[in-house]
Amino acid sequence: MNKTDAFFVTLKLYIKFIFMLTQMLENILVAQIEKEAYSSNLYLAMASWAENNGFEGTAQWLYLQAEEEHIHMLKFITYINERGGKAVIPALKQPPIDYIDIHDLFDQVYKHERLISKSINEIVGVCMEEKDYSTSNWIQWFVNEQIEEEKSVKLILDKLKLIGLHSLYLFDKDIVLMRNTASKA
């Protein structure tokens, strides 16, 4: 390594050190990796149930949701490492295999997303306590994402309430369209 390269490597390490996450913030961000990874697995489990019960549209919606959660997890991993922390890849508990019906499934999606919103808000709180305004700024993307996710699942639940146990075939066709419309908005 020549002198210029060595200078830039040292500079990079120095900048990383200056903007390093506090231990408390690192811990809560690492905990969020597990929550996002579990979310992805949970939606895969739900997609599998939906596919086995004739809800192909719902399965497609859930597979896409699982991919999004995987991307969320990656965002946390890279951010922690960029900020001088150590992203830890967790072991995951097994998500539920069975659901009573499609209402129960989306009820659980909604409850899960509410929990995730709560944990994102807790991260915002720690950012404020630790006066880490860069992470506070970075986490805002997730705050907005959670608002959108809760809104879209609430809409699905409202539709399900309206149709009861009727027209589930049409609902299953409709749900794919709902996702496409939301992603274009």
Q: What is the smallest separation between the CB atom of 11 and ligand FEO, expressed in angstroms?
A: 34
Is residue 26 near ligand FEO by the rule CB under 6 A? no
Burial environment of residue 149 by CB neighbours within 10 A (0 to 12, 13 to 18, 19 or more)? buried
Applying the rule CB under 6 A, the residues between 99 and 118 that interact with ligand FEO are 113, 116
Q: What is the C-alpha to C-alpha distance for residues 126 and 150, in angstroms, rounded to an integer? A: 23
Residue showing tokens 């719902």: 58
Contact (CB, 8 A) for 96 and 49: no
What's 67-104 look like in SS3?
A: HHHHHHHHHHHHHHHHCCCCCCCCCCCCCCCCCCCHHH
Q: What is the smallest separation between the CB atom of 135 and ligand FEO, expressed in angstroms?
A: 17
Q: What is the smallest separation between the CB atom of 3 and ligand FEO, expressed in angstroms?
A: 44
Total of residues contacting ligand FEO (CB under 6 A): 7
Q: What is the C-alpha to C-alpha distance for residues 15 and 83, in angstroms, rounded to an integer? A: 9
Nearer to ligand FEO by C-beta: 20 or 157? 157
Is residue 149 near ligand FEO by the rule CB under 6 A? yes
Name residue 52's amino acid.
Answer: N
Among 29, 44, 66, 72, binds ligand FEO (CB under 6 A): 72
Count Cβ atoms below 10 Å from residue 155 Cβ, excluding itself. Answer: 12
Residue showing the smallest CB distance to ligand FEO in the complex: 72
Is residue 179 near ligand FEO by the rule CB under 6 A? no
Nearer to ligand FEO by C-beta: 3 or 93? 93
Among 21, 30, 69, 156, binds ligand FEO (CB under 6 A): 69
Is residue 43 near ligand FEO by the rule CB under 6 A? no
Q: What is the C-alpha to C-alpha distance for residues 67 and 49, in angstroms, rounded to an integer? A: 17
Q: What is the C-alpha to C-alpha distance for residues 151 and 157, in angstroms, rounded to an integer? A: 10
Residues that bind ligand FEO (CB under 6 A): 36, 39, 69, 72, 113, 116, 149
